[in-house]
Structure 1
Amino acid sequence: MSTRGEPWRRTARAFHFRADPDWAVPALERAGVDCCALANNHVLDFETEALADTLAALDSAGIANSGAGPDRSAALDPAVVPVGPLTVAVVSLTDNTVEYAATADRPGTAYVDIDVEDPATRATVRECLHRARAHDPDLLVASLHWGPNMTVAPPGRFRRFARWLVDAGVDVVHGHSAHVFHGVEVYRGRPVLYDTGDFVDDYAVDGRLRNDRSFLFDLTVTEEGRPTRLRLEPTEISDCAVHRAPPDVAAWSRERLRERSAPFGTTFERDGDALVLDVDEG
């Protein structure tokens, strides 16, 4: 969110995205956004000046953020958000665009390879989670911008990584990047959303994959912060805005989600146009 900076030219980039903070910040506020995950493949599209403006705009609006910063240490810090009586900590990581990775003396993203066998990855993620747990959160969310565009299922290494995160204390794995929703898994009573697809976007629509269709993912937790139920309301993008999906689109999305979740042993109940999943362990 910036009007400054020049398009990134240090490496080849097909797209360069930015938004004027004078309208982008009020849009986030009106939508009730409390937290932004910034570890992604576009946050440096207009170089470090625009990243600095993005961070300043969010901080000025009181919108917590994680995943990017003026250096690696700042990028690994969690966002901490009060939700009613609960404290929620969000860590944000990406395996996209290694040239955007923050270092000890360079702004950028919290970058990791998605590989649980990589000692560097384990060390980085453990450091990130340690910082989050220092805030004694009731709910710990890992938001991951991982993998390529236009896929319908995660690779095996993503599944291993997600389970490792839950074993390390993460309560919700929130995946995104593919522009297409993937299946949902429940592991040890914790929801793993491998990819939530697009919610608001202006990309061209793939007529087969339908990246204009997804869900509002509504998670219910106990007073202690334990996830209990996931409700998925079908959505559709039109005119660069999100809408409730009409009945035929909702049916298409429900069918696709059931198909993509079946390999994880996940089944849903129907509630109107929505799908409901009880995530309590056991």
Structure 2
Amino acid sequence: MKFSITGLLITAGAFVLLSCTSNTASVPQQLPTDTLKIKRMDTLSIVAVGDIMIGSAYPSKSNLPPDDGKHSFKAVDSFLKGDIVFGNLEGCFLNNGKSTKCKDTVGNSCFAFRMPERYAGIIKNAGFNLLSVANNHVGDFGLKGRTTTTKILDSLNINYAGLQSHPFCIFEKDSVRYAFCAFAPNENTVSINKVDSAKQLVKSLKAQADIVVVSFHGGAEGARFEHVPRRKEIFYNENRGDVYAFAHAVIDAGADVVLGHGPHVTRAVEVYKNKFIAYSLGNFCTYGMFSLKGPNGIAPLLQLKINSNGDFLSADVISVRQDKINRLRLDPANGAFNKIKSLTNIDFPGHNLIFSGSGRIEPKKNP
């Protein structure tokens, strides 16, 4: 069965891209309600991680990993399995070119990330099928970098969103229709600071999909900013958003899962109106010029379970860590899980969550 909606082709299938808009309008046209009559699965699995940047050839190829990125996810690939496997693509795919944001093109002081285009296949083969491109590095190489990145993701059938030119996508897997949108405070991305517009987009997507996933790149950066402050976060004179208010607003509008990244450290989690929020998933797989000291070097790999209504059932936290020599590996000390537990207890007292020693988060049962 096919529907032609504002130039978008919608096709039923096991895992088929339904709509990824290329115009600058933020709100998609609502589909007829009878298109939503589909078989729902009882439990859906969403695997979610934070920043991914597996090596940049700029300003020097010395910032590429010694195995050319081939084994970037080797330590965790058995955990990257779910209906959705999500990450934040912290940079663009581009084989050549200079960045206008960098005055120093000789030394190693420029934070502009250009992953070789072949690295996209490594991310695809690891299992990722949904990526945010709403962040401060997707535009490091201008329009060419953004365009090349989106063309490559399209060619690999990896769903993505977050650019003004591509604010959302809708896709289907196993007869469940998902919508995804992503936000950031950065140029050419869908703004995290325009909350009313974000709510309007999410509400429209919820009318078309069973499950709406929202991602944001927001909040100040580094170990001094592990807590969720419940106010606007200004960092380097830039408004990085009020991530607490934003997350609650998009859930009020219909979002089922909210996944945050940007601070480069792990932050607390929250369940609001039975919907799961991760306020920052930290640095997941970031080779090269990223600081990996202290809390910057630990991160969660979340294995979320939600029901067909999008309500939170459980989350298994697989703790990982990175350093410059050993790269991404499992963390036997469960640092990310322990950090999430501690921060959630502090930032959201009375949270009604159970943190078990095995690394699981579950809602408390009603008496």
Decide which moves more: 168-177 or 158-167. Answer: 158-167
Q: Which residue matches 2:46?
A: none
State the TM-score, normalized to the length of structure 1: 0.80
Aligned-residue identity in percent: 22
Provide closer, same or farther for how the CA distance between residues 6 and 38 of structure 1 changes in structure 2, counting only shifts above 3 A. same
Tell me the amino acid that sits aligned with residue 177 of structure 1.
G
- Could you tell me which runs of 5 or more consecutive residues in structure 2 were left unpaired when the two chains were aligned: 1-92, 232-242
State how 1:9-158 maps to structure 2 within 5 Å: 9=101, 14-22=110-118, 24-68=119-163, 72=164, 74-76=165-167, 78-95=168-185, 97=186, 100=187, 108-113=188-193, 121-134=194-207, 136-150=208-222, 151-157=225-231, 158=243
Q: How many pairs does the alignment contain?
A: 252
Tell me the amino acid that sits aligned with residue 92 of structure 1.
A
Q: Distance in 1 between matches of 2:366 and 2:121?
A: 39
Q: Tell whether the 8 Å contact from 2:271 to 2:312 is kept in structure 1 after alignment.
A: no
Tell me the amino acid that sits aligned with residue 212 of structure 1.
G
State the TM-score, normalized to the length of structure 2: 0.63
> 1:60: Cα distance to partner?
0.7
- Secondary structure at the aligned position of 1:36 is classed as strand
Tell me the amino acid that sits aligned with residue 155 of structure 2.
S
Q: Distance in 1 between matches of 2:278 and 2:356?
A: 18
Provide closer, same or farther for how the CA distance between residues 165 and 280 of structure 1 changes in structure 2, counting only shifts above 3 A. farther
Q: Distance in 1 between matches of 2:247 and 2:203?
A: 17
Tell me the amino acid that sits aligned with residue 18 of structure 1.
R
Tell me the amino acid that sits aligned with residue 156 of structure 2.
A
Q: Which residue matches 1:2?
A: 94
Tell me the amino acid that sits aligned with residue 201 of structure 2.
C
> 1:271: Cα distance to partner?
4.8
Structure of larger gyration radius:
2
Q: Distance in 1 between matches of 2:318 and 2:203?
A: 33
Tell me the amino acid that sits aligned with residue 17 of structure 1.
F
Larger RCO: 1 or 2 (CA < 8 Å, sep 6+) = 2
Decide which moves more: 83-92 or 170-179. Answer: 83-92
Q: Tell whether the 8 Å contact from 2:275 to 2:310 is kept in structure 1 after alignment.
A: no
Q: Which residue matches 2:354?
A: 268
1:197-231: CA deviations, max 9, x gaps?
A: 11111323223xx2111211111122444332122
Tell me the amino acid that sits aligned with residue 146 of structure 1.
G
Q: Tell whether the 8 Å contact from 2:299 to 2:319 is kept in structure 1 after alignment.
A: yes
Q: Distance in 2 between matches of 1:4 and 1:131?
A: 38
> 1:281: Cα distance to partner?
8.8
Q: Distance in 2 between matches of 1:5 and 1:137?
A: 39
- Secondary structure at the aligned position of 1:53 is classed as helix
Q: Distance in 2 between matches of 1:3 and 1:184?
A: 37
Q: Tell whether the 8 Å contact from 2:317 to 2:337 is kept in structure 1 after alignment.
A: no
Tell me the amino acid that sits aligned with residue 354 of structure 2.
F
